[in-house]
């Protein structure tokens, strides 16, 4: 069963002048076809302006396609009667944690979503406690968000999305503004949500190392999907990636250069652990 | 043309704000010269952005002093405008500040404001655009047609056109795709190599600073924890991790290999160095 089904989706940004005349049309999505099964962890990569965020905004009906259809768990995003069902099903976490946190106490912030959809207070308390526990922030329930680190704030934002009990979460460059430990904290939470809570994850990132952790990598270029495969397969084609403004994860890059220098390392190394294992094997021989 | 920071402290003071009264910088002393490519690293909230904003007087310390070229920038009658043309600051996401109809006009804005004659303004703006990797064919494109990386570089050209002695950048590669990120850092590396501009930047990428900077300043809770070469700083992996930082991936890979009994020299922090060391080992 597909959580997300995009059929021939196209979208244009239209710029108008003061008199409302169209000055410019920019095609942001060009005939996208993508099926994401329930429970999958999909990374979406691509250069700035490739259409990643525009696509993400189609998943919870923030944007509607000009052509084609997007279905979320079978619900058509252009059907207004199911709009709130779709937004309950698919949550979003954005780039800047400071723009997503509104309340002055962590648990109130997390409660905002369920309050908004009219959940009864008793249930809200349960959901908030559970969501904070999942992201490892239960100790900070009564704290002010202002004093948290970037990674902690972003985990509170994730808890806020979780409190509406979504089955799918879209992360739009949610690690871009974090320090290294903050990035790691968020990645660990994302992996846990996918593995333990069975949440379908769509993870947009510019960090190739993060994309390498997904089940599947979708590469976008000028509004189209140009690669769609397992990470090891996508990261096997360094020339194509480089032409698309992307690069290999560093471990894959190092493995490739070592291979070119004559070391017999296999072609599917994309993370540091595997690379270290492979080099230790060579040492034994 | 050195910058000398002497025992500065700073606390936020806006009544009503939750941060009011919070000490952000604590007794910081450090100096910079124009030969250096310095990266300031630290966890979120460590005071990095606050610190660099002191260097061109956007913020003023509560205590301590900052000398530019031996002269206190806090002295009465000190020429702030001149300081700001010498110490150019590029904010986070500077492309949001592009506003002119073409790239060249946008970059001309700063030097025009200095009151320079028209041909000098054009000369400086063109030069700055060439420095950041634009070709003349792109000078008259609208800033809005540019890619994310190009916009970022155009915004940096706007600061370079002031011909500053120091270029200070707050997370210049944030949000850029890998190619844009590399172009930007290569461009800064080139600027530094050519000489004449001291570079001070804030970054969250340990990999980038390992590759490009020759000096690292580590801030934590408003104090300087380390001020040394990247190799020296990244030898303190445990301490860095305990404050929210990390070592570069290359250093991590090298350490994992050492732990498994493969003898590699210490102090490897870039992939290039690790590659050479592995090849030597198997050589």
pLDDT at B15 over 70: no
Q: Do A245 and B178 touch (CB under 8 A)?
A: yes
**What is residue B16's predicted lDDT score, i.e. its pLDDT?**
60
The band of B195, judged by pLDDT with boundaries at 50, 70 and 90, is confident
Q: Judge: B241–A242 Cβ closer than 8 Å, yes or no.
A: no
Q: What is the pLDDT of residues A215-261, one digit of tens each?
A: 999 999 999 999 999 999 999 999 999 999 999 999 999 999 999 99
Q: What is the pLDDT of residues B162-194, one digit of tens each?
A: 999 999 999 999 888 999 899 999 999 999 999
Give the closest of B19, B44, B274 to A179, CB-based.
B44
What is the least distance, in Å, from the CA of B240 to any CA of chain A? Answer: 10
In angstroms, the separation between the Cα of residue A179 and the nearest Cα of chain B is 5
Question: Which CATH number, 3.30.70.990, 3.10.20.30, 3.40.190.150, 3.40.50.300, labels domain B3-247?
Answer: 3.40.50.300
| Strands, sheet with A2-16, edge to edge from the N-terminal-most edge strand | A22-37, A2-16, A67-72, A75-76
For B97-112, what is the mean pLDDT? 88
How far A200 CA lies from chain B's nearest CA (Å)? 24
Task: Give pLDDT, residue A103.
Answer: 87
- Average pLDDT of chain A is 93
- pLDDT for A98 equals 80
- Angle of helix A121-134 relative to helix A150-162, nearest 10 degrees, comes to 140
Model pTM score: 0.90
pLDDT at B212: 96
pLDDT above 90 (res A102): no
What's the CA angle centered on A233, arms A231 and A234, to 5 degrees? 65
How far does A254 lie from chain B, in Å, by closest CA? Answer: 7
Q: What ranges do the domains of chain B cover?
A: 3-247
What mean pLDDT do residues A47-61 have? 93
Burial class for A31, CB neighbours closer than 10 Å (0-12, 13-18, 19+): middle
- Which pLDDT does position B14 carry in this prediction? 65
Mean pLDDT of chain B: 92
pLDDT value at residue B236: 96
Q: What is the pLDDT of residues B218-275, one digit of tens each?
A: 999 999 999 999 999 999 999 999 998 999 999 999 999 999 999 999 999 999 999 9
So what's the pLDDT on residue B44?
86
Q: DSSP assignment, residue A101?
A: -
The residue among A68, A88, A93, A39 whose CA lies nearest residue A203 is A93
What is the set of domains in chain A, with CATH numbers?
A: 2-230 (3.40.50.300)
Angstrom distance (rounded) from CA A134 to CA A123: 17
Describe the strand order of the beta sheet including B23-32 as a list of residue ranges.
B23-32, B3-11, B63-68, B71-72
Strand (E) or helix (H) holding A35: strand A22-37
Tokens for A159? 């808890």
Contacts of B261 in chain A (CB under 8 A): 280, 283
Could you give the 3-state DSSP secondary structure of residue B262?
Answer: coil
Residue B34 has which token pair?
A: 């124009």
B256 touching A (Cβ < 8 Å): yes
| Minimal-distance CA residue of chain A relative to B202 | A179
Query: What confidence score (pLDDT) does residue B146 get?
Result: 83
* pLDDT tens, residue by residue, A168-217: 999 999 998 888 888 999 999 999 999 999 999 999 999 999 999 999 99
pLDDT recorded at residue B18: 58
Quick one: which of B20, B21, B90 has its CA closest to B55? B90
Q: Which of B42, B43, B93, B203 to mutate to test the interface with A (most CBs of A within 10 A)?
A: B43
Confidence check: pLDDT of A94 > 70: yes
Nearest to B253 among A48, A245, A276 (CB): A276
CA distance B256 to B247: 12
The order of strands in the sheet holding B37-41 is: B87-90, B166-170, B198-202, B37-41, B215-220, B223-228
């Amino acid at each position: 069963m597909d959580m997300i089904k995009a059929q021939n989706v196209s979208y244009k940004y239209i710029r108008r002048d003061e008199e409302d005349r169209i000055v410019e049309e920019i095609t942001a999505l060009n005939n996208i076809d993508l099926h994401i099964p329930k429970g999958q962890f999909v990374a979406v990569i691509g250069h700035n302006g490739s259409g990643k965020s525009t696509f993400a905004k189609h998943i919870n009906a923030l944007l509607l396609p000009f052509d084609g259809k997007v279905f979320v768990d079978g619900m058509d995003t252009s059907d207004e009667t199911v709009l709130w069902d779709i937004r309950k099903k698919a949550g979003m976490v954005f780039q800047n944690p400071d723009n997503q946190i509104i309340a002055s106490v962590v648990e109130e912030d997390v409660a905002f979503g369920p309050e908004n959809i009219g959940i009864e207070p008793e249930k809200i308390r349960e959901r908030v406690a559970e969501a904070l526990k999942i992201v490892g922030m239960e100790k900070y329930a009564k704290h002010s968000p202002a004093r948290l680190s970037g990674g902690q704030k972003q985990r509170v934002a994730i808890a806020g999305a979780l409190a509406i009990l979504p089955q799918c979460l879209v992360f739009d460059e949610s690690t871009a503004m974090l320090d290294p430990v903050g990035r790691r904290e968020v990645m660990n939470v994302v992996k846990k949500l996918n593995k333990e809570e069975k949440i379908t994850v769509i993870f947009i990132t510019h960090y190739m190392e993060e994309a390498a952790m997904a089940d599947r990598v979708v590469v976008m270029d000028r509004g189209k999907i140009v690669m769609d495969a397992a990470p090891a397969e996508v990261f096997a084609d360094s020339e194509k990636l480089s032409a698309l403004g992307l690069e290999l994860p560093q471990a894959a890059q190092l493995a490739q250069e070592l291979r070119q220098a004559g070391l017999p390392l296999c072609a599917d190394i994309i993370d540091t652990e595997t690379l270290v294992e492979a080099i230790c094997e060579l040492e034994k021989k | 043309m050195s910058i000398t920071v002497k025992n500065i402290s700073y606390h936020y003071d806006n009544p009503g704000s939750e941060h009011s009264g919070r000490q952000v910088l604590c007794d910081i002393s450090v100096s910079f010269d124009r030969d250096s490519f310095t990266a300031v690293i630290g966890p979120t909230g460590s005071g990095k952005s606050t610190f660099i904003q002191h260097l061109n007087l956007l913020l003023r310390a509560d205590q301590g002093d900052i000398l530019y070229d031996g002269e206190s920038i806090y002295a009465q009658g000190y020429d702030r405008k001149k300081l700001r043309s010498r110490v150019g600051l590029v904010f986070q996401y500077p492309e949001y500040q592009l506003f002119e109809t073409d790239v060249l006009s946008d970059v001309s804005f700063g030097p025009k404001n200095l009151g320079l004659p028209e041909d000098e303004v054009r000369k400086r703006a063109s030069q700055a655009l060439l420095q950041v990797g634009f070709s003349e064919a792109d000078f008259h494109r609208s800033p809005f047609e540019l890619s994310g990386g190009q916009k970022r570089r155009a915004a940096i050209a706007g600061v370079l056109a002031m011909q500053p002695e120091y270029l200070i950048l707050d997370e210049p590669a944030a949000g850029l795709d890998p190619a844009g990120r590399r172009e930007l850092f290569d461009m800064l590396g080139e600027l530094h190599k050519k000489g004449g501009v001291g570079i001070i930047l804030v970054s969250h990428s340990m990999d980038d600073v390992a590759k490009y900077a020759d000096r690292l300043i580590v801030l934590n809770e408003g104090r300087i924890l380390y001020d040394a070469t990247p190799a020296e700083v990244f030898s303190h992996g445990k301490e860095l991790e305990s404050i929210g930082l990390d070592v570069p991936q290359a250093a991590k890979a090298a350490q994992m290999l050492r732990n498994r009994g493969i003898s590699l020299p210490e102090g490897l922090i870039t992939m290039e160095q690790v590659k050479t060391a592995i090849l030597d080992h198997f050589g």
